[in-house]
Structure 1
Amino acid sequence: MSDIAQAQLTIRAVLLSIVLAVVLAAANTYLGLFAGLTIASAIPAAVVSMAVLRLLGGGGILENNIVQTGASAGSSIAAGVIFTIPALIILGYWDDFRYSWVMAIAGLGGLLGVIFSVPLRRSLIVDQNMAFPEGKAAAEVLKTGENPGQGVKVLAGSALLGGLVKLAAGSGLRLIPDTAAASAWVGKGIAYFGTNLSPALFGVGYIVGLNIGIVCLSGAVISWNIAIPIYSAFFLDGNAQLSGALAGASAADAAGAIWSAQIRYLGVGAMLIGGVWTMISLRKSLVSGIRSGLAVARDNVGKTVAHTEQDIPMKYILIGLVLFTLPLAGLYQAIVGSWTVSIPMTVIMIVAGFLFVSVSAYMAGLVGSSNNPVSGITIATILFAALVLLMLLGKGSEIGPVAAIMIGAVVCCAACVGGDNLQDLKCGHIVGATPWRQQAMLAVGAFSCALVMAPVLNLLAAAYGIGTPTAEHPNPLLAPQATLMASVAKGIFGGELPWNTIAVGAGIGAALIVLDEILKARGANFRVPVLAAAIGIYLPLELMVPIFLGGLLNWAITRRAGKDEARAEAATRKGTLFAAGLITGEALMGIFIAIPIVLAGSADVLALPDALHFGQWLGLLILAVIAWLLYRVSSRAQA
Structure 2
Amino acid sequence: MAQTTPIIPAQQSIIEFNLNTIILAIILAVILTAANAYIGLLVGMTVSASIPAAALSMAIMSWFKNTNILQNNMVQTSASAGEALAAGVIFTVPALVLMQAWQGYSFWPILILALSGGLLGVIFTIPLRRALIINRSLAFPEGVATAEVLQAGFQLTGTQANPTELNNSTHYKQTEFSSKSQLGVRHLLQACGISALFKLIGTGFGIFSASATWIKPLLNGQILANFSIQFSPALLGVGYIVGINIAILVLMGGLIGSLIGIPLNWYLQSDFWLEQVQVADTNLLTQTDWQQLANMIWQDNRRLGVGAMLVGGLWSLIQIAKPVWVSIKTNLKSFQSFKQTDNQILRTEHDLPFALLILAMPIVIAPLVFLIYPLLGGTPYPVMFTLIWTLFVVVFAFIFSSVAAYMAGVVGSSNNPISGVTIATVLVSSVIWFYLLSGLTQVAQIGGIIVMYLAAVTCSAAAISGDNLQDLKCGHILGSTPWKQQVFQMIGVVVAAIVLPFILILLDTSYGIGRASEANPNADFLAAPQAVLMRDLTTGIFNQSLDWLMIQLGALIAFIIIIVDSILARFKAKFRLHVLAVAIGIYLPLALAISLFIGALLRFWLESKLKHRTESEKAAHNKNGLLLASGLITGEALMGVLLAVFAAFVIPLATPIEYASWTGVIAFFLICLYIYKRSRAD
Provide TM-score, normalisation by structure 2. 0.87
What's 2:664 paired with? 619
What's 2:246 paired with? 212
What's 1:175 paired with? 207
3-state SS, counterpart of residue 182 of structure 1: strand
Q: How does 1:202-351 map to 2 (within 5 A)?
A: 202-238=236-272, 242=276, 244=278, 248=285, 250=287, 251-260=290-299, 262-295=300-333, 298=337, 301=340, 304-337=344-377, 338-351=382-395
Does the alignment pair 1:407 with 2:440? no
Contact 1:64/1:142 (CA < 8 Å) preserved in 2? yes
Counterparts of 1:616 and 1:313 in 2: how far apart (Å)? 58
Deviation at 1:439, TM superposition (A): 2.0
Identity across matched positions, percent: 39
Q: More displaced, 317-326 or 362-371?
A: 362-371
Does the alignment pair 1:569 with 2:619? yes
1:348–1:236: structure 2 CA closer, same or farther, 3 Å change rule?
A: farther
Counterparts of 1:143 and 1:446 in 2: how far apart (Å)? 26
- Which of residues 178, 184, 187 in structure 2 aligns to 1:151? 184
Counterparts of 2:106 and 2:64 in 1: how far apart (Å)? 38
What's 1:84 paired with? 92
Does the alignment pair 1:459 with 2:506? yes
1:254–1:123: structure 2 CA closer, same or farther, 3 Å change rule?
A: farther
Counterparts of 1:448 and 1:391 in 2: how far apart (Å)? 38
What's 1:135 paired with? 143
- Per-residue Cα deviation, 1:44-87 (whole angstroms, up to 9, x for no partner): 11011112221111422221111101110121121111111111
1:518–1:357: structure 2 CA closer, same or farther, 3 Å change rule?
A: farther
3-state SS, counterpart of residue 401 of structure 2: helix
Contact 2:316/2:417 (CA < 8 Å) preserved in 1? no
What's 2:601 paired with? 552
What's 1:164 paired with? 197
Give the aligned length.
630
Runs of 4+ in 1 over 6 A off after TM superposition: none
1:193–1:288: structure 2 CA closer, same or farther, 3 Å change rule?
A: same
- Which of residues 469, 473, 497 in structure 2 aligns to 1:450? 497
Counterparts of 2:551 and 2:314 in 1: how far apart (Å)? 15
Counterparts of 2:52 and 2:454 in 1: how far apart (Å)? 32
Q: How does 1:32-47 map to 2 (within 5 A)?
A: 32-47=40-55
Counterparts of 1:294 and 1:358 in 2: how far apart (Å)? 9
Q: More displaced, 85-94 or 511-520?
A: 511-520
1:249–1:364: structure 2 CA closer, same or farther, 3 Å change rule?
A: farther
1:633–1:124: structure 2 CA closer, same or farther, 3 Å change rule?
A: farther
Instruction: Supply the AA of the counterpart residue of 1:308.
Output: T
Deviation at 1:294, TM superposition (A): 4.9
1:55–1:493: structure 2 CA closer, same or farther, 3 Å change rule?
A: same
Q: CA RMSD in A?
A: 2.4
Deviation at 1:243, TM superposition (A): 6.4
Does the alignment pair 1:376 with 2:449? no
Instruction: Supply the AA of the counterpart residue of 1:634.
Output: S
Instruction: Supply the AA of the counterpart residue of 1:385.
Output: S
Contact 2:277/2:293 (CA < 8 Å) preserved in 1? no
3-state SS, counterpart of residue 514 of structure 2: coil
3-state SS, counterpart of residue 214 of structure 2: strand
Deviation at 1:43, TM superposition (A): 1.1
Unaligned runs of 5+ in 2: 1-8, 155-176
1:570–1:470: structure 2 CA closer, same or farther, 3 Å change rule?
A: closer
Counterparts of 2:467 and 2:418 in 1: how far apart (Å)? 11
Contact 2:508/2:517 (CA < 8 Å) preserved in 1? no
- Which of residues 561, 578, 582 in structure 1 aligns to 2:632? 582
Contact 2:122/2:486 (CA < 8 Å) preserved in 1? yes
Deviation at 1:437, TM superposition (A): 2.3
- Per-residue Cα deviation, 1:95-140 (whole angstroms, up to 9, x for no partner): 2221111111111110001112223334443444444332222112
Instruction: Supply the AA of the counterpart residue of 2:231.
Output: L
Counterparts of 1:323 and 1:245 in 2: how far apart (Å)? 60
1:234–1:28: structure 2 CA closer, same or farther, 3 Å change rule?
A: same
Counterparts of 1:530 and 1:128 in 2: how far apart (Å)? 29
1:486–1:165: structure 2 CA closer, same or farther, 3 Å change rule?
A: same
- Per-residue Cα deviation, 1:484-525 (whole angstroms, up to 9, x for no partner): 211211111115332211122122222222222332232222
Contact 2:511/2:517 (CA < 8 Å) preserved in 1? no
Counterparts of 1:437 and 1:196 in 2: how far apart (Å)? 42
1:446–1:5: structure 2 CA closer, same or farther, 3 Å change rule?
A: farther
1:231–1:363: structure 2 CA closer, same or farther, 3 Å change rule?
A: farther
Deviation at 1:239, TM superposition (A): 6.3
3-state SS, counterpart of residue 180 of structure 1: strand
- Per-residue Cα deviation, 1:351-373 (whole angstroms, up to 9, x for no partner): 11122223323443354334433
Deviation at 1:462, TM superposition (A): 1.6
Q: More displaced, 228-237 or 190-199?
A: 228-237
Provide TM-score, normalisation by structure 1. 0.92
Does the alignment pair 1:418 with 2:457? no
Instruction: Supply the AA of the counterpart residue of 2:266.
Output: S
Counterparts of 1:628 and 1:368 in 2: how far apart (Å)? 30
Does the alignment pair 1:361 with 2:408? no
Q: How does 1:384-395 map to 2 (within 5 A)?
A: 384-394=428-438
Contact 1:184/1:252 (CA < 8 Å) preserved in 2? no
Contact 2:339/2:354 (CA < 8 Å) preserved in 1? no
Instruction: Supply the AA of the counterpart residue of 1:457.
Output: L
3-state SS, counterpart of residue 15 of structure 2: helix
Counterparts of 1:4 and 1:528 in 2: how far apart (Å)? 48
Counterparts of 2:200 and 2:19 in 1: how far apart (Å)? 36
Counterparts of 2:30 and 2:229 in 1: how far apart (Å)? 31
Counterparts of 2:401 and 2:476 in 1: how far apart (Å)? 20
What's 2:643 paired with? 593
Which of structures 1 and 2 has the bigger CA Rg? Answer: 2
Contact 1:269/1:504 (CA < 8 Å) preserved in 2? yes
Counterparts of 2:271 and 2:606 in 1: how far apart (Å)? 48
1:173–1:601: structure 2 CA closer, same or farther, 3 Å change rule?
A: closer
Instruction: Supply the AA of the counterpart residue of 2:191.
Output: S
Counterparts of 2:374 and 2:279 in 1: how far apart (Å)? 41
Deviation at 1:157, TM superposition (A): 1.0
Does the alignment pair 1:397 with 2:435? no
Counterparts of 1:241 and 1:382 in 2: how far apart (Å)? 34
Unaligned runs of 5+ in 1: none
- Which of residues 452, 476, 480 in structure 2 aligns to 1:433? 480
Counterparts of 1:496 and 1:523 in 2: how far apart (Å)? 42
3-state SS, counterpart of residue 223 of structure 1: helix
- Per-residue Cα deviation, 1:147-173 (whole angstroms, up to 9, x for no partner): 15543322221111001111122x321
Instruction: Supply the AA of the counterpart residue of 2:388.
Output: P
Deviation at 1:295, TM superposition (A): 4.3
1:245–1:408: structure 2 CA closer, same or farther, 3 Å change rule?
A: farther
Deviation at 1:431, TM superposition (A): 2.3
Contact 2:323/2:403 (CA < 8 Å) preserved in 1? no
